[in-house]
Amino acid sequence: MNALPRPGVRFRLSAAIAVLFVLILLVSIIGMRVLTRTELWMNTLHQDTLTEVSDALDLSRRASDLATSAPFLYALFPPFQLEQEAQNVLDNLHQIEAHAAGDPVLDLPLARLRLAIDDLTQALVPQTARKAELAAIDHDMLRLNQRVRRLAADVTLPLEERELWAGLQQLTITAIGAGRADALIALGAFSNRYAVARDRLLPRLQPAQQASFAEIQQAIRRGPGLFVLKHQDLAARLDAENALFRIRRETSRITTYAEDKVAQAEARLSLARAETSDNLVFAKNSFLAFTLASLLVAVTSVLYVSRYLARNLHRIADAMRKLAAGDRGADLPAVRPADDEIGQLFAAFHVFRENARKLDRRTGQIRQQNALFSRVFRNIKDGVAITSADGRIAVENDNLRALLRLPPGVTDAGNGVHDLIAQSGFARQASAGERGGFEEYGDASGNVLEMRHSPLPDGGAVWLFSETTERKKVEERLEEIRRVETLGKVSGEVAHDFGNILSSISGNLHLLEGADPANAQHFRGRIRSAVDLGVSLTERLLAFARKQYLEPQVTDLGVLTDGMSDLLEMALPDTVSLTFVWDGTPVLARVDPGQLESALLNLCVNASQAISGAGDITLRVVAAEDGGAMLSVQDTGCGMTAEVQRRAVEPFYTNRDDGTGTGLGLSMVDGFVHQSGGQLGITSHSAGPDRGTTVTMRFPPVTESAPDPARIGASGVALVVDDDAGSLAAAADALENLGYRVRRAASFAEGMAQLEQEKLTLILSDLNLDSGASGWDILQHGADLHPDAGLVLVSTREAHRTPTALRDVAQLATLTKPVTEAMMRDLLVTW
């Protein structure tokens, strides 16, 4: 009997593959059933649990929101805000009730919560009217208190009458205390004290005090009366606080209930997780058993699979040779032999082929990018230059020289960017540190460029020039808007201060009418003090507004500061030492010496007030890098916080603990420095080894010499139009001293008539003329009749918007009053 034939390789491989297929199929079926069942169970459980947890968390969140928003009602006093916020709280409560619908556990807490909210609203609604009444009574009491206190302190009155006025003062003080009491016990004490004082004083009142007593009583009895209103106010506060306590308590209960719901849901999730874990353990064991069986079959099959390696390696080597030779169409059979090393080589070949194709495409993209970069470099509106490591310009686009306004024939000079800028009409206005990484350049026509350079890895750099003239104009307009906002605040403060000054003058004038000669001198002294205070305030405001009249001259800051040392040492306390640092080299600036001395004294006094106990103040005079001058005042005082430093130069802002000071000190210094063309810098630290403040005044370089009278060339006929006789005379005298023959016009009609009488060299007109006429009309008509004449507009304010018809006039200027000979001389030199 012949033996059975041995199965061939194909049969054995097919059998092994079949066994593996069956095992994999069994594993897949078991895994799918277990995972599907687990997934369905977990989805159902998660959906139910997450819904419950979401509702509970939402209920807790809304309860917390209600507990947070309810106390906000306590701080609202306008009725419309209170009603609106109360409605928001009730809406929140309605949403909580909607979430808690069908849950009897929350019925009682929600009912109590609604009752507490109603009690809180009812307690707070009448508070606005009561507080308004109490504020009115308090205002009247303060006014009456000031009156009777002044009379009680008047030493010219008899002692008995002064005692009666002091009694009325005691009544007003008791009423003020009652209106500001914060407890019912204190209110009762003030009420009893008022009644006792009133009853004791009433029989002794004289006719002079009856009217004031009647006003006090009338103010006390406003509405229900001071003591009744205050009692109702304090009682309402207690009711509101009780309601807030109940709201917090009930919302806490609701939150606790929601947390219990979440805990229960977490417990159910834990139970489901344990059941799911058991199912997964069973699935893992099944997977492990079938995996071991599959491994046995796979090891047996490897012995036969290895026989096909040589043929497949030959295929792969042949395809790789073709690919290396540049044949991107070389390929292998689409079906890979297996997911082993041969299969990986097949995959690697396809990856290499795709990478070669991508490299070809990438090379084409780089060529396109180079072409795109070239178009951008040539067509960008900004000026671009690329410099090498030695600083020479390697390449530049066409817009660079156009932005710099360079003519076509200009050479590269030193072949550097700064050399190119030096040949243009632009000069640097701000460094990169001042402009956040940009350098700003401007020319005489008002054009502004921003320059920024970025270093390259090879040591070169890319330079970018951008036209920012229009943006600069927008920024200046925004700055004007901010100055207008500041002016509104300044106007209110000035009105308040001048109101006090005028009240003082008016009161003393009234007293002066019936005063005897002995007291008249005293009242005149008060009036004189009020006038001096007004003059001082006006000078400070002019300095802040940068409109004070300055007489700048070239001044050595070191010599000026050294000459003030004795004065400064006398002005400082004995505990503060003064140090002056200056190397003796002349440090020149064009400033008004008197105003600079005032600013320096102001800064030193401020610095000494910031030092408690012993300390040092250092004055330092140095020359700036750009040729300008710097004068700094450094102290070892308490320093400034960031907020105080931000508002340091704000008008009427003072940070003194006693509340004294006008708040115009640093504002005046800042205004003077900016009016002189400089900048004021403040650095301060409130802690650490650098504790203290440094205030630095920076002034621009002195580049121009004093005007030469021979260069002025003032001649011909000048017309001055002003409806104010004093201003007209001052401007006319100034022009006559400069050599003009002056024609004067005191009205708009007279000025228009004189424009047509003879040829004029200069026309100067006030902005606001009689009958609402404008000086611009005078200048425009004068420009039509006398095209070569210089035009000057004067006003008490700064420069105004120039009419379109006059914008092309070369010799056109605006000045602020008063017009002086020095102002006109400087203007004529520039023309």
Mind listing the pLDDT tens digit for each residue in 165-174? 888 888 888 8
| Rounded Cα–Cα distance for residues 295 and 298 (Å) | 5
Would you mind telling me the total number of residues written for the chain in this entry?
831
Maximum average pLDDT range among 114-128, 291-305, 418-432 = 418-432
Question: Average pLDDT of 595-615?
Answer: 85
Up-side HSE of residue 538: CA atoms within 13 Å toward CB?
9
- Is residue 53's pLDDT more than 70? no
pLDDT for res 59: 61
- Amino acid identity for residue 393 in this structure: I
Alpha helices (H) in 576-640, listed in sequence order: 593-609
618 pLDDT above the threshold of 90 = yes
User: Residue 297 carries which side chain, given as an amino acid letter?
Assistant: V
Range with the largest mean pLDDT of 4-13, 343-352, 372-381, 445-454 = 445-454
Please tell me whether the peptide bond between 818 and the residue prior to it is cis, using omega within 30 degrees of 0. Answer: yes
pLDDT at 653 over 70: no
Rounded Cα distance, 726 and 732, in Å = 10
pLDDT at 397: 82
Residue 41 in contact with residue 276, Cβ under 8 Å? yes
* 9: pLDDT strictly greater than 50: no
Q: Which residue has the higher pLDDT, 756 or 178?
A: 756
Query: Who has greater pLDDT, 354 or 791?
Result: 791
Query: Is the model more confident about 10 or about 623?
Result: 623
- Over the stretch 112-126, which tens digit does the pLDDT of each residue have? 767 767 666 666 666
Q: What is the pTM of this model?
A: 0.31
Distance of alpha carbon 72 from its chain centroid, rounded?
28
What does the pLDDT look like over 470-495, one tens digit per residue? 777 777 777 667 666 665 665 666 66
- Please give the average per-residue pLDDT across 215-226, as a whole number: 82
Q: In the prediction, which pLDDT does 249 show?
A: 75
Residues 382-426 pLDDT 10s: 788 888 888 888 888 877 787 787 877 666 555 787 888 777 878
pLDDT tens profile 323-363: 777 776 777 766 555 556 667 777 777 777 778 778 777 87
User: Quick one: tokens of 356?
Assistant: 């070669």
Contacts by 87-90, CB closer than 8 A, 24 or more apart: 89/117, 90/117
For residue range 558-569, list pLDDT tens digits in order: 888 888 887 788
CA distances from 629 to 555, 557, 561, 596 (A): 10, 8, 13, 13
Please spell the DSSP secondary structure of 4-64, one letter per residue: PPPP-HHHHHHHHHHHHHHHHHHHHHHHHHHHHHHHHHHHHHHHHHHHHHHHHHHHHHHHH
Mean model confidence pLDDT for the chain: 75
